[in-house]
A and B are shown apart, each in its own frame.
Chain A
Amino acid sequence: MAFTETNTTTPRRRPVMRRARAWGFAAAGVMLLIAGAPSRGQQAESLPASAPAAAPASAPASAPVPLEIPAPESVKAYDCPSDDGSAIIVEWAKPKIETPGAVYVVDVAAAKEDFAAGAFKTVQVKPGPEALKSANQKFFGVSPANAGLYYARICPSSLYPPVPAGESRTESLTRHAKAGHLSAEELQRALAASDADAKWLARLMADLTERDTTDAKARTRRINAATYYLRLSVSPDGGRARAYVSDKDGQPLVLSAAALPNQFKWYKLNIAIFSVAFCAVVAAFIWIARRNPNLYIRRIAGLDAVDEGIGRATEMGRPVYFVHGIAGVESMATMASLTILGRVARKAAEYDTRVRVMNWDPMVTAVSQEVVQQAYTEAGRPDAYNPDDVLFISTDNFAYATAVSGLVVRERPAAIFMLGTFFAESLFLAETGASTGAIQISGTDSYSQLPFLITTCDYTLIGEELFAASAYLSREPKMLGSLRGQDVGKAFLMVTIVVITAVLSVAAARGVSLDWLTNLFKTF
């Protein structure tokens, strides 16, 4: 984190509320209103740091509203923590008294001299609960001090865009020609492009846009990494008149900071600790299982029924259907279902029963073909493998559901395995299967579809049971060890939830605040 600030140790100067000066600034305010609001980057008109508000001309003389200026020592500028290096934070203490309608304005300049030249950008912050650091726990944590600090998030690449906005095609072509990306002949041809050149021009513009996108990324990084100069002021009404936070010489306090990439998302620290701890527990149980292979694992009825389903299909002389859900190979549920497919295919190959695999994703189709072929080879029946039995159907979920349902009705499989991620089509598939009298074993990580599957299927693997399947079916000690680790993690979570709920309930009943405890479990 870069923390570069200047002159933040100046003693705080309290605002002076003098009626005569108030009237003076009221008059200035009226003149400014007549003059109109300044454009972005225009030099603002400074009010003295200790000035009261520029009260409206109609305001009663007896009630001038004070314009409280943040204490200079409270103003800080630094790199935004836990981000990718795209923002600078300016923070300041919330004044005790806030002027209604007042707005904080942060001036941002690429060089100090730009302030005098009026070549700076402005970012306005409207005071309120959402402008406090406490409203953004993701980046600033849960410190109680944050409730008394306002902040402004300055994104340099937004203020100084890397690509000119609203550029016409001619301007874009000319810019690229100047940069040497186009020859003079190409520029002339592009500028005078006829219908016959439309394809060539479209390809050229696509190339240039791609180049702009790549360049913009590099330029954005450079823009963000530069040092910027910042000063904070308060505007009584969001207009041009401002009272700047001043240094000890009475000049506007200028801070500097650069947005730098950070290497850790601190707001994910609790997740990182839990993940590593849980992985350590699972790894430890895998190690224990190698020494003591006789671990007790609870029974999972849905997995015990796998052999029953294949046996039924063998007896009836009908096929077994394996329906992958509608998720890609990157989904953990699909990975789990692929391991179960291997078992089912091997058992079916041993019994000489046909297995048909219905795929929604082409990549899952390719992996499924490999898994089934290997299963047939391991069963000693490579000749029985038929690639046409591992089908790719469609990447549209209802087209997939309709096609699978049609096949189910026509071929009447004896057993249907529905394992993976499912959405709205789950009921469509499962209800069709149930109507044909097939034994159905389902499992999904989509908890919203579980009620439908439980209703319509004979056995349902609920939640983590789907992921336990490969270990449960293989009975290999190392795999069972990981399963035990998984159960220990679940028991730990259950105990933690019960204990912490009890502690927080007792604390609440006694009026004790234990926010730190709840904050430990917050995720962003």
Chain B
Amino acid sequence: MWYKRTIPLILVFAIGVAAFVQEFVPAPWAGRFRENITLWFQIIGSFALFIGLYSLLHMHWTRIRRQTPGWAYSIFVFLAAGGMIAVGLYNEGKGPIIDVAQGTRTWLDRGYDYLIKPCTATIYSSMAFFMASAAFRTFRARNTAAVLMLVAALVVMFGRVPVSEVLGGWLGDPEMFSRITDVLMKYPNLAAKRAIMMGISLGAIAQSLRILLGVERSYMGGGD
């Protein structure tokens, strides 16, 4: 138990305190400490990547083996992963690690630009529909608070489109709606945001302290 609990807790405390102290020290040793910690993190992370890859491929292989509904899609995981790994290793005939000449577009670049990027852009653009359906549900005037939010949201949305200047012009001030929008965003909205941010910061500090003092230990895979 000593090596499984006590040593990790001592390490967590020592590294945690050192990480806190280095934040206030400009001397190069603090920078070197941060670099080393980052390096260790990357080394451990690279091992974890194999666990992640194994987890992903194992799950999809199980789906194919058991022929669960939609198992054929799992074949694409192997094709896509294998394809990208292959072109990455091929590296325009130079093999792994070697840099290709600057400006050369490798097959890996093409795979990223012509397959991954368009897919990502498609998913991102579909967010507009999700946003519309979420807004439709939220902006129902069910009670006073909901009415207030609805009015504020309409004003902010209206103040950010050019037609608001036309309507403002008819009312005597083309900038009227954009100014109201600015006031709403700068004061009530920013105040609420900052309050949440402060709460998050305090919560994160308290959580860190619980971890450093060994009060919170469930992240180590055990109970409390």
Contacts and interface: CB of A to CB of B under 8 A. Distances in A.
Interface string B40-74: 01001100111111011011001000000110000
Contacts of A332: 203-204, 207-208
Contacts of B219: 335, 338-339, 367, 371
A265 B200 contact: no
A424 B127 contact: yes
Interface in B112-142: 116, 119-120, 123-124, 126-127, 130-131, 133-135, 137-138
Interface string B174-199: 00000000000000000001001111
Given A335-B211, A342-B218, A489 B202 contact: yes
B145 interface: no
Interface in B198-224: 198-200, 202-211, 213, 215-216, 218-224
A283 B209 contact: yes
A85 B205 contact: no
Contacts of B98: 198-199, 202-203
Nearest to B44: A363
Contacts of B138: 455
B105 interface: no
Contacts of B99: 202, 206
A431 B207 contact: no
A83 B26 CA distance: 5
Contact of A286 (B69, B131, B213): B213
Interface residues on B, range: 35 or more
Contacts of B83: none
A467 B134 contact: no
Interface stretch (A105-113, A166-174, A180-188, A444-452): A444-452
Contacts of A206: 97, 99
Contact of A391 (B56, B202, B209): B56
A279 interface: yes
A278 B193 contact: no
Contacts of A401: 123
Nearest to B20: A275
A370 B95 contact: no
Interface string B1-43: 0000000000000000000100111111101000000000100
Contacts of B116: 396
A279 B26 contact: no
A417 to B, nearest CB: 15
B134 A452 contact: yes
B51 A365 contact: yes
A346 to B, nearest CB: 8
Nearest to B130: A431
B95 to A, nearest CB: 7
A378 B207 contact: no
A479 B203 contact: no
Given A82-B26, A272-B24, A279 B209 contact: yes
A362 B95 contact: no
Interface residues of A, number: 89
B52 A392 contact: yes
B26 A265 contact: yes
Given A261-B26, A363-B44, A392-B51, A463 B199 contact: yes
A310 B138 CA distance: 26
B56 A275 contact: no
A469 B115 CA distance: 40
B28 A85 contact: yes
Nearest to A390: B55
Contact of A410 (B23, B69, B97): B69
Specify the main secondary structure of chain A where it touches its partner.
helix
Nearest to A80: B26
Residue of B20, B41, B205, B218 ringed by the most chain A CB atoms within 10 A: B218
A468 B48 contact: no
A452 B137 CA distance: 11
A490 interface: yes
B51 A367 contact: no
Nearest to B61: A388
Contact of B206 (A378, A476, A486): A486
Nearest to A474: B224
B216 A470 contact: yes
A463 B134 contact: no
A450 B221 contact: no
Contact of A470 (B123, B127, B137, B218): B218
Contacts of A428: 123, 126-127, 130
Interface in A483-504: 483, 485-486, 489-490, 493
B26 A84 contact: yes
Nearest to B51: A366
A227 interface: no
Nearest to B201: A464
Given A467-B204, A474-B224, A396 B199 contact: no
B123 A362 contact: no
A369 B51 CA distance: 10
A176 to B, nearest CB: 18
Contacts of A336: 203, 207
Interface in A314-344: 328, 330, 332, 335-336, 338-339, 342-343
8 contacts: A362-B50, A362-B51, A365-B52, A365-B55, A427-B130, A464-B203, A482-B206, A486-B206
Given A398-B124, A445-B204, 4 more contacts: A282-B209, A387-B55, A390-B55, A464-B202
The 3 lowest CB-CB distance pairs between A and B, nearest first, are: A362-B52, A464-B203, A467-B203
